[in-house]
């Protein structure tokens, strides 16, 4: 008797809202795969990606060069470059974007805040990335079961091997996690993505950060400067001393090591229980902006609204103020105004 292979298909209607939460878990995200006007974006190069994903390497969108220059501060990359990248991957302004990475959401949160600052509203971050989808994809479980069976067979059982291989071949196109192709799918058509006036409320330029530091030094107790990459994370030494108003708080406290995701809301609220939500927070990282942007995104997720992240690194922080002022004028004049 021939065995019939039954594929598990998803047929769930999902309504997407513009005010989706910043983070989404796999059980919700799995329903979005393959939906019209929904695009999954991997923010770093991976061997395996979610089916149909585009890959945008976030490192190519960093604003500061090796010399510490930020040509379109406080943005990460000049909007024209972002438009070019998004158009290349056929992404439209009204697409719902699901962002993910293999780095606890650090890179995904960077792209999230970049796109938000440039006016894209409909998007979310997949908490847990590829691994979270692998764990709950029923077709993947069946595929792994057959792979285990075929591994335990010998060459003498050739007919059984062929039967199982047929099942694997049927299952493979339906797996939610697939190997990344170096070429764009032929179904992906280039589009003309146009940036409109965005939201810069959560970003800090060099001058913006220096202004807040000056206010703290002048005695303003309603501002806390947070170092999201304390020296212990970078050089393996003690924190060292900090000026009044600066709090060392490592981004590593926010993640579930081994699970590629952030901690639960309950755990995060406990971690930040000594941080009054009515205060104003400025986050920075001397290594690069990713960690500060990641921490800012997580804090917003649990209800912090008076919060900004510095988009540069230590090199940018020590640059000449004149160059920074010129770059801000350039960005304001050319890109930020409504088209």
Per-residue pLDDT tens for 24-74? 999 999 999 999 999 999 998 888 999 999 999 887 776 555 555 666 777
| Beta-bridge partners for 247 | 226
Please report where in the chains the tokens 């690069």 appear, as a residue. Answer: 288
pLDDT of 174 reads: 92
Number of Cβ within a 10 Å radius of residue 106: 23
pLDDT of 159 reads: 86
Give which of 157, 210, 160, 23 is closest to 99, Cα–Cα.
Answer: 23
pTM of the model: 0.82
pLDDT of 181 reads: 67
Determine how β-strand 261-262 pairs with β-strand 255-256: antiparallel
H or E element, residue 313: none
Residue 98: φ, ψ to 5°: -115, 110
Give start-end residues of each CATH 3.40.250.10 domain in the chain.
23-133, 203-336
| CA atoms of 170 and 23, how far apart (whole Å) | 33
* Interacting residues of 126 by C-beta distance below 8 A, sequence separation 6+: 23, 24, 25, 26, 29, 40, 50, 98, 99, 100, 105, 108, 132, 133
Q: What are the residue ranges in the chain where pLDDT is below 50?
A: 1-19, 233-241, 320-325, 327-339
Q: Under a CB-based contact definition with an 8 Å cutoff, are residues 79 and 116 in contact?
A: no
| CA atoms of 298 and 251, how far apart (whole Å) | 10
How many angstroms separate the Cα of 266 from the Cα of each of 122, 271, 272?
26, 9, 10
Does 23-133 carry CATH code 3.20.20.140?
no
pLDDT of 15 reads: 38
Instruction: Give residue 218's region: left, alpha or beta (phi > 0; psi -120 to 50).
Output: alpha
Residue 97: φ, ψ to 5°: -105, 135
pLDDT of 282 reads: 94
* Interacting residues of 91 by C-beta distance below 8 A, sequence separation 6+: 39, 41, 54, 97, 191, 193
pLDDT of 62 reads: 65
pLDDT of 243 reads: 57
pLDDT of 18 reads: 37
Give which of 59, 60, 64, 57 is closest to 313, Cα–Cα.
Answer: 64
Q: Under a CB-based contact definition with an 8 Å cutoff, are residues 120 and 308 in contact?
A: no
* Residue 261 DSSP SS3: strand
pLDDT of 239 reads: 43
Q: Selecting from 3.90.1200.10, 3.40.50.300, 3.40.250.10, 3.20.20.10, what CATH number does the domain 203-336 have?
A: 3.40.250.10
pLDDT of 306 reads: 96
pLDDT of 300 reads: 96
């Amino acid at each position: 008797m021939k065995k019939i292979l039954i594929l598990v298909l998803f047929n769930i209607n999902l309504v997407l809202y513009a005010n989706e939460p910043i983070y989404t878990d796999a059980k919700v995200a799995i329903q979005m795969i393959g939906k019209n006007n929904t695009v999954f974006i991997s923010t770093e190069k991976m061997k395996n990606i979610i089916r149909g994903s585009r890959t945008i390497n976030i490192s190519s969108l960093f604003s500061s060069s090796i010399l510490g220059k930020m040509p379109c501060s406080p943005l990460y990359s000049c909007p024209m470059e972002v438009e070019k990248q998004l158009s290349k991957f056929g992404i439209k302004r009204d697409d719902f974007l699901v962002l993910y990475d293999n780095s606890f959401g650090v890179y995904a949160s960077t792209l999230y805040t970049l796109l938000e600052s440039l006016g894209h509203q409909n998007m979310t971050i997949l908490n847990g990335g590829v691994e979270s989808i692998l764990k709950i994809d029923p077709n993947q479980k069946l595929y792994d079961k057959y792979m285990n069976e075929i591994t335990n067979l010998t060459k003498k059982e050739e007919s059984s091997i062929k039967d199982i291989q047929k099942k694997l071949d049927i299952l493979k196109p339906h797996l939610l996690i697939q190997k990344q192709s170096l070429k764009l799918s032929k179904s992906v058509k280039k589009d003309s993505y146009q940036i409109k006036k965005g939201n810069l409320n959560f970003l800090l330029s060099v001058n913006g950060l220096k202004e807040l530091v000056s206010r703290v030094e002048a005695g303003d107790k309603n501002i806390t400067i947070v170092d999201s990459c304390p020296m212990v994370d970078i050089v393996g030494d003690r924190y060292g001393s900090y000026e009044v108003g600066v709090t060392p708080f490592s981004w590593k406290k926010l993640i579930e090591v081994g699970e590629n995701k952030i901690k639960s809301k309950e755990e995060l609220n406990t971690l930040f229980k000594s941080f009054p939500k009515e205060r104003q927070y400025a986050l920075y990282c001397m290594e690069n902006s990713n960690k500060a942007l990641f921490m800012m995104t997580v804090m917003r997720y649990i209800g912090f609204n008076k919060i900004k992240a510095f988009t540069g690194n230590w090199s940018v922080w020590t640059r000449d103020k004149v160059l920074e002022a010129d770059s801000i004028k350039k960005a304001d004049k050319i890109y930020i105004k409504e088209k």
